């Protein structure tokens, strides 16, 4: 059953990993429909809260009258204390405006997987996400087959894990089918899509593929020198896994070293790339000016994150335009290209290299974290031959 469904992960900060705390809340937001949609959405129609912290963190996004499914067994005094709550939100009127469905997720999930050999109680509890997912699948009339194929592909080498996840998923679906807690469920019609092979892609993945395509089209070796920083680190990670395409990567000791190594690679004739976020771009500023005055083609990728100074690694924002335009000393203007969607990141990489090699200058590619981390389904029409709609292929850099 074909659907249009942008997805967006919501990560918790890496310095606060304790589950159940307000700072430790993470999640995944999905919007699906039978017509074309362009964002993960703002207001939620349904919310699944695994604990009090998840509830109070996300309840403001749920529309009035929306469906609120909670794991009722996670609202014990110790859980309320972790979420800094003095009263139980299920009882104090906080959820009065929503259609509350209390589910004993822990008990039901453990019952579904209890007889699987080799599965510890800790691993059993990890499967409850699949139980909740199965319940949501029933609620919105979704088929389980695609997720079951995913489970087999990911956990096929661990039969007990595969079996547990499959059982939890099916148990959640069967619970929705048999319980009387829901007044009704919903059916979303299939989308009318052009026949073909579709794939899911994230912005940073599309960006790295675009960089490799640009390097191949221009006959250059691709070099990426970067310092790890959220949310740009996955570019370096992805490129490091693609060395069979002639990619060279260096994890530098700091942002200045990363930028200077990129200048060196450009001077040596490679397709030179560095990636960072707002704080790192600030540190790269002096060396970016050097690349400009030396007329060296290179790409500087800025995966923008929220806030000034070190910023907010897990929050999205698109506030670095003035920094990209004027954040260097002296007269050092640079071209800037911004992305409009996750799949557009591929074309932006190609276009940035065209401009860099045509005008012999560093080019800044500004990417929103929303585009970097959002998962998008790419249609066959969007999977064009690289460069087929944006002019000639990049020419090799040189001064001849």
Instruction: Average the pLDDT over 128-147 and give the result.
Output: 93
Domain 7-178 has CATH 3.40.920: yes
Going across the sheet that includes 375-378, the strands are: 27-30, 7-10, 375-378, 199-202
The answer to whether 354 and 394 are in contact (CB under 8 A) is yes
Closest C-alpha to 229, from 309, 310, 288, 328: 310
* pLDDT tens-place string over residues 108-127: 999 999 999 888 989 999 99
Percent of the chain, pLDDT > 70? 86
Assign 398 a pLDDT band (cuts: 50, 70, 90).
very low
Q: Which two tokens stand for residue 204?
A: 């940073």
Residues 6+ apart with CB under 8 A from 287: 256, 259, 260, 263
Q: Higher model confidence: residue 78 or residue 230? A: 78
The stretch 345-372 carries a mean pLDDT of 89
Asked whether residue 209 carries a pLDDT value surpassing 90, the answer given is yes
So what's the pLDDT on residue 307? 81
Higher pLDDT, 307 or 2: 307
Highest mean pLDDT among 125-129, 176-180, 272-276, 393-397 belongs to 272-276
Per-residue pLDDT at 71 exceeds 90: yes
pLDDT classification of 400: cutoffs 50, 70, 90:
very low
Interval 254-303: pLDDT, tens: 999 999 999 999 999 999 999 999 999 999 999 999 999 999 999 999 99
**Dihedral Cα 156, 239, 14, 79, nearest 10 deg:** -30
31 pLDDT band, cuts 50/70/90, is confident
- Write down the pLDDT at residue 16: 47
Predicted confidence at residue 369, as pLDDT, reads 59
Q: Which residue has the higher pLDDT, 87 or 41?
A: 87
Which one is predicted more confidently, 146 or 36? 146
pLDDT at 375: 55
Give the model's pLDDT for residue 378. 58
Query: What's the rounded Cα separation, in Å, for the pair 264 and 287?
Result: 11
How wide is the angle at C-alpha 329 spanned by C-alphas 328 and 331, nearest 5°? 95
Q: Which of these ranges, 147-151, 339-343, 359-363, 389-393, has the smallest mean pLDDT? A: 389-393
The pLDDT, as a whole number, for residue 387 is 43
239-259 as b/e: b if 16+ CB within 10 A:
bbeeeeeebebbebeebbbbb
What pLDDT is stored for residue 397 in this prediction? 43
Instruction: Check whether 309 has a pLDDT greater than 80.
Output: yes
Tell me, what's the pLDDT at 160? 93
Domain boundaries, the chain: 7-178, 199-382
Of the chain, the percentage scoring pLDDT greater than 90 comes to: 62
Q: For position 367, what pLDDT does the model report?
A: 86
Instruction: Tell whether the model's pLDDT for residue 395 goes beyond 50.
Output: no
pLDDT for residue 15:
46
Q: Which two tokens stand for residue 124?
A: 């059993």
If you average pLDDT over residues 72-90, what whole number do you get? 93
Q: What integer pLDDT is reported at residue 199 of this predicted model?
A: 74
Mean pLDDT of the chain: 86
**CATH number belonging to domain 199-382:** 3.40.50.970
Q: Does residue 22 carry a pLDDT above 70?
A: yes
* Closest CA relative to residue 312, chosen from 16, 44, 29: 16
Whether 393 shows a pLDDT value over 90: the answer reads no
């Amino acid at each position: 059953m074909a659907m249009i469904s942008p997805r967006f992960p919501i990560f918790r900060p890496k310095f606060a990993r304790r589950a159940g705390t307000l700072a430790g809340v993470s999640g995944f937001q999905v919007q699906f429909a039978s017509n074309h949609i362009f964002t993960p959405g703002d207001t939620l129609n349904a919310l699944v809260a695994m604990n009090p912290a998840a509830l109070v963190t996300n309840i403001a996004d749920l529309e009035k009258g929306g469906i609120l499914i909670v794991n009722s067994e996670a609202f014990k005094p110790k859980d309320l204390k972790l979420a800094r709550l003095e009263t139980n939100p299920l009882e104090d009127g906080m959820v009065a405006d929503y259609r509350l469905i209390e589910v004993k997720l822990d008990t039901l999930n453990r019952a579904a997987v209890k007889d699987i050999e080799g599965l510890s109680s800790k691993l059993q509890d990890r499967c409850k996400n699949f139980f909740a997912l199965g319940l949501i699948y029933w609620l919105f009339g979704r088929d389980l087959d695609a997720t079951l194929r995913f489970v087999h592909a990911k956990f096929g080498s661990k039969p007990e894990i595969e079996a547990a996840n499959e059982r939890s998923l099916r148990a959640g679906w069967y619970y929705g089918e048999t319980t009387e807690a829901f007044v009704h469920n919903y059916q979303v019609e299939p989308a009318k899509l052009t026949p073909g092979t579709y794939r899911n892609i994230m912005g940073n993945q599309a960006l790295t593929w675009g960089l490799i395509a640009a390097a191949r089209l221009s006959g250059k070796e691709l070099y990426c020198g970067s310092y790890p920083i959220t949310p740009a680190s996955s570019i370096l990670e992805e490129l490091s896994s693609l060395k069979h395409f002639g990619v060279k990567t260096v994890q530098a000791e700091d942002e200045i070293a990363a930028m200077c190594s990129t200048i060196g690679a450009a001077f040596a004739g490679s397709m030179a790339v560095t990636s960072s976020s707002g704080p790192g771009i600030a540190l790269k500023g002096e060396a970016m000016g050097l690349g400009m005055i030396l007329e060296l083609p290179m790409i500087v990728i800025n995966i923008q994150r929220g806030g000034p100074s070190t910023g907010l690694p897990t929050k999205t924002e698109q506030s670095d335009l003035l920094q990209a335009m004027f954040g260097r000393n002296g007269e050092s203007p640079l071209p800037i290209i911004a992305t409009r969607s996750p799949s557009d990141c591929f074309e932006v990489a190609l276009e940035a290299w065209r401009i860099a090699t045509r005008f012999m200058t560093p080019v800044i590619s500004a990417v929103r974290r929303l585009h970097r981390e959002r998962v998008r389904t790419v249609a066959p029409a969007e999977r064009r031959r690289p460069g087929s709609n944006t002019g000639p292929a990049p020419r090799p850099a040189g001064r001849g």
